[in-house]
Amino acid sequence: MRAGGSTASPTAVGRRLGSFARRFAWLRGRSFAANVAFMVTGTALGQAASIVLAPVLTRLYSPDQFGYLSVYTAALMIFSVVAVLGFELAIPISANDTELANLLAVSGATLAATTGIVGLVLWLFPDTPDIPWLAQLMSYRLLLPLGFFCLGGYFVMVAAATRAGAFRDIAATRISQGLSGPLSQIVFGMLGFGAPGLAIGFVIGQSSGTYLLFSRMILKSPGIRAAISWRGMRVVLRRYARFPLVAGWARLLDMAGSGTVLFLLFSACYSSEIAGFMFLIERVVARPLFIVSTSLMQVFIGEAGKSVQHDPALLKRRLRQVVPRQFVLSAAWIVVVNLLAGWLFPIAFGEQWNPAIPYLRALSLAYLAVATLHPVSTSLQIMERQALAAVWQAGRLVLVVSSVIVPWKLGLAALPALWLTSIAQVMATIVMLALIAVSVERIQRRAAD
């Protein structure tokens, strides 16, 4: 990093980054559908590996142990989305390569600081808190900062790769994660590590994806390092101040409200076994469902980051293409899974997992809603309507949490509570799609004026 006010010119930085960008020029020149197909292939291969290995894991670990993993991953996924305070959300819409380089530097510095704070808080926290699910987390306290750092770094690297159109590299990380995570969990299970083996394997999977993108986006791109300066970092801090002030925390609410918080709630209010059932369902049912939606989202963000400023009509067309198709695909998968679950679960995962089937039925409606929204879920942030997104995310989180806490307080069983949660997710999804549509129309009118 250089102190002082000089920065490399955008042209010079472009030449230095060219060796990386040219490798993917053929991809950027192709259609939206071709980019999505590329991402779907890589994501599908990674998820297929995870699904194929799931029956091995369910015979090495109990539902209760999967419940512990669900608590760990839920806490990690929720809090890691603010590991960079939302600066990574600005990377796809950075105006030029110099701005990109300094955004990456700000993101890296922010990630180092937040990881240090998390580590310090966990070190000061009591070993045996009174809250049961929090006590479970404390047994993995050393893994939490490491997982936090790896996930936060992955979000930054994916944002940079998306801006560069490097969908091939992103797809490669999906395969790496899909293989390295479950394989390491199997090894730890055979060695008798128990629930900590599941958590360690999860961190290994995330680490592989983070390092792969870092090596290709940063280590092989000296132009990025050359373009960083203290002045440039101050400029991007001022330019994108709304992202840490609003968008980062809104994303925290979004992650919690999308369903991740349910693992914590059901573990605390009902039992870790039920959380384990939900975690298995998420792995073998929801993850395949999100293969297409994640791929669509990645390509959608890369295109929307440019079209929102220069071609709002294209953004509107993409929304009309993506949302209906994603709904149809998600609905078809949900129907098939529900028809086959009664026959497939005992054969694939063992008799001890049969009680998970009713929870699958209840979660199906929520999965349909969340998967339909997922590809376009960052639209408000891309349109820089962070405050509106934050209001919606806060409202959804309150609705989802209430749909669990209120039934629990009234003495209802876990299954009715899960059905209420699914209904809450459907209502929230309809509202968000309406907000996105109104915001796009607003941008179009402003562009026309």
Coil vs helix vs strand at 29 = coil
Q: What is the pLDDT at residue 183?
A: 92
Question: Is the pLDDT at 194 greater than 80, yes or no?
Answer: yes
Is 112 a member of any domain?
A: yes
Q: What is the pLDDT at residue 408?
A: 94
Q: What is the pLDDT at residue 15?
A: 47
Is 5 a member of any domain?
A: no
Q: What is the pLDDT at residue 18?
A: 43
Rounded CA-CA distance 151/196 in Å is: 18
Per the structure block, which two tokens stand in for 250? 């809104």
Q: Which residue has the higher pLDDT, 380 or 358?
A: 358
Q: What is the pLDDT at residue 28?
A: 41
Burial 159-184 (b: 16+ CB within 10 A, else e): bbbbbbbbbbbbbbbbbbbbbbbbbb
Question: Is the pLDDT at 269 greater than 70, yes or no?
Answer: yes
Q: What is the pLDDT at residue 378?
A: 81
Most confident of 16-25, 28-37, 123-132: 123-132
Q: Which residue has the higher pLDDT, 221 or 248?
A: 221
Cα–Cα nearest to 289, from 359, 414, 375, 204: 375
Please state the domain count of the chain: 1
Residue that is written with structure tokens 């609705």 in the block:
399
Is residue 354 a contact partner of residue 346, using CB atoms and an 8 Å limit?
yes
pLDDT per residue as tens digits for the range 339-368: 998 888 888 888 888 899 999 999 999 999
Is 214 a member of any domain?
A: yes
Rounded CA-CA distance 73/143 in Å is: 11
Cα–Cα nearest to 49, from 293, 353, 342, 284: 284
Is 4 a member of any domain?
A: no
Q: Which residue has the higher pLDDT, 12 or 228?
A: 228
pLDDT per residue as tens digits for the range 292-347: 777 777 677 767 766 766 777 777 888 888 889 889 989 999 999 999 988 888 88
Q: What is the mean pLDDT of the chain?
A: 80
Question: Is the pLDDT at 133 greater than 80, yes or no?
Answer: no
Residue that is written with structure tokens 């609905």 in the block:
331
pLDDT per residue as tens digits for the range 42-62: 777 777 777 788 889 988 988
Is residue 178 a contact partner of residue 47, using CB atoms and an 8 Å limit?
yes
Q: What is the pLDDT at residue 296?
A: 72
Per the structure block, which two tokens stand in for 126? 């009591």
Coil vs helix vs strand at 229 = strand
Q: What is the pLDDT at residue 422?
A: 94
- Supply the Cα-derived Rg of the chain in whole angstroms: 22
Q: What is the pLDDT at residue 38?
A: 67
Is residue 284 a contact partner of residue 55, using CB atoms and an 8 Å limit?
no
Distances (CA, A) of 404 to 74, 167, 422: 16, 38, 10
Most confident of 24-33, 350-359, 408-417: 408-417
Q: Which residue has the higher pLDDT, 51 or 201?
A: 201
Rounded CA-CA distance 398/227 in Å is: 43
230-254 mean pLDDT: 77
pLDDT per residue as tens digits for the range 68-91: 888 888 778 777 878 888 888 888
Cα–Cα nearest to 341, from 318, 360, 328: 360
Q: Among positive and negative, which fits the CA dihedral 369, 273, 174, 46? A: negative
Q: What is the pLDDT at residue 434?
A: 94
Rounded CA-CA distance 261/394 in Å is: 13
Cα–Cα nearest to 332, from 388, 292, 373: 292
Rounded CA-CA distance 157/306 in Å is: 19
Note the helical H segments in 270-413.
Answer: 272-281, 287-310, 312-349, 357-373, 379-382, 386-409
Which residues are CB-contacts of 442 (< 8 A; sequence separation ≥ 6)?
none
Q: What is the pLDDT at residue 301?
A: 72
Q: What share of the chain is helix, strand, coil (3-state, %, to 5)?
A: 85, 0, 15
Percent of the chain with pLDDT over 90: 21
Rounded CA-CA distance 6/227 in Å is: 9
117-138 mean pLDDT: 68
Domain limits for position 225: 10-448
Q: What is the pLDDT at residue 21?
A: 37
Coil vs helix vs strand at 253 = helix
Is 370 a member of any domain?
A: yes
| Chain-centroid distance, C-alpha 173 | 13
Is 86 a member of any domain?
A: yes
Q: Which helix (H) or strand (E) holds 19?
A: helix 10-22
Is 2 a member of any domain?
A: no
Lowest mean pLDDT among 352-356, 384-388, 406-410: 384-388
State the pLDDT confidence band at 369, using cuts at 50, 70 and 90: very high
Rounded CA-CA distance 32/30 in Å is: 7
